[in-house]
A and B are shown apart, each in its own frame.
Chain A
């Protein structure tokens, strides 16, 4: 009996261990942990704040944009924790939390930058509509800066030293030069050839515009024809040559991977060779085609390595000179110049040998 009791005890311990192990595995796979049903938790607030007709524009929260954020998963009352039973009573809602409670490292970095004393977090970021750098276009990144730094002033400041100012400002996100980043990528967007507004000279195609072309099918198949989530050089060529897409073109921008909040003008950015010389292998040679999503974000699809350097078919409107320089052309150019030296060297040699024949 004692033995049977011990066996039962051991089976119980073993079962408990197995249950714990399975639980831990599920949690590691991300399926066990949940913020809870944030949609229903936020529903009482969004009933009014998600309807433009019920609140003023200052208090309106775009449900799609907000639903995309991690903030939504925490729930409205995590930050707005001082809502009283009288709400809405017309009084401003006190808030005891601040961004630094969660984003302390970024706040420290930002405070030390030249921007730190100029604008609070909300000066650039809307906490109800937060996207990662990879999810927004370079133009959207620049629009954040344009809220204070008008295009005319930016043009005037940069024109003092930067040749082809407009071209640079159209092809580079501000944070590419004005924040530290690990690396830079060439991000390729589908843009409309017609209907471009004078302000930015280009207009990126929206989800709705591209969706019409695919009749509701996934829009990335406009370029990624075999739908393998990878854009080959052949697929870029096919897109560029397709007469049906004559009114579209590929617009590229140099954007940083993970820009930091240490905003400043870095000394090495005054030196054009920061971009215009071929840097270490891999720098500025990685590219993505990004496609707009229904929620206003962008989705990256990796592009075949070297495609941005293709002279003929990749991105007709983008050229860096350094990393996108074509090595085959360099060799052809060298051959032409060497060809030009053949006659003087060869003729000169024979001329030297036959010098006694001439007066």
Chain B
């Protein structure tokens, strides 16, 4: 079967992705040092870890805001890309789960082929819906409140207090951290282990030349 190159990831998306990746890894490492300074000392002093965590938090929050603003207000495609459709929930999700946890081991190709209009398979859509619309905003908002505990004291108390906020921020961050392992692993499930990494670096993905659009 012939192959062709498609331009899947435009430059702004790639910059956004790697900025987020660097930011989130920095947040995980510095956050671990802030919570467990007895065991994690990767980023020098505790104060450095706090400053780095705050800086990375602001950058990732801004990056998230730009992402939301662009896809919602400018492109208007946020629902198409991230919200699963009826088909995705009734059949697509099941089909994708069967592929990952069964068919893949027998050499069956991925039933979903990414296109610029349909980047994510139904499972990815569901996962990113939870990540981008629940986990990311909540971890960002709790972080912003923690950074501004003085001026936002009354809001924090309304939410149940500082400890509730810290607990929520910590558990949400752990969930994001847990997702990172799955995210990176799933990215190695292409035709070659680096097949899905390349488009996020160069923008171009090599795909089989199908005559029809796959879901």
Chain A residues in the interface with B (C-beta under 8 A): 161, 163-164, 166-167, 170, 193, 201, 249, 271-273, 276-278, 310-312, 314-319, 321-322, 324-326, 329-330, 332-334, 336-337, 339-341, 343-344, 347-348, 350-351, 353-354, 357-359
Contacts and interface: CB of A to CB of B under 8 A. Distances in A.
Given A316-B164, A358-B104, 20 more contacts: A163-B50, A167-B150, A193-B157, A201-B150, A249-B157, A273-B46, A276-B37, A317-B157, A317-B161, A318-B163, A321-B166, A336-B177, A336-B178, A337-B181, A340-B177, A343-B182, A347-B100, A347-B101, A353-B105, A357-B107
B166 A319 contact: yes
Interface of B: 34-35, 37-38, 45-47, 50-51, 54, 100-101, 104-107, 147, 149-150, 153, 156-157, 160-164, 166-167, 170-171, 174-175, 177-182, 184-185, 191
Contacts, number: 121
Nearest to B154: A193
Contacts of B161: 315-317
Nearest to A356: B107
Contact of A272 (B45, B156, B163): B45
Contact of B163 (A193, A273, A311): A311
B37 A277 contact: yes
Nearest to A334: B174
B162 A340 contact: no
A329 B164 CA distance: 11
A359 B195 CA distance: 14
B189 to A, nearest CB: 8
Give the 9 A-B CB pairs with smallest separation, nearest first: A316-B161, A340-B178, A344-B185, A272-B46, A354-B105, A333-B174, A357-B107, A336-B174, A358-B107
Contact of A316 (B160, B171, B179): B160
A351 B104 contact: yes
A135 to B, nearest CB: 28
A68 to B, nearest CB: 34
Contacts of B149: 164, 167
B162 A321 contact: no
B179 A340 contact: yes
A315 B38 CA distance: 24
Contacts of B38: 273, 277-278
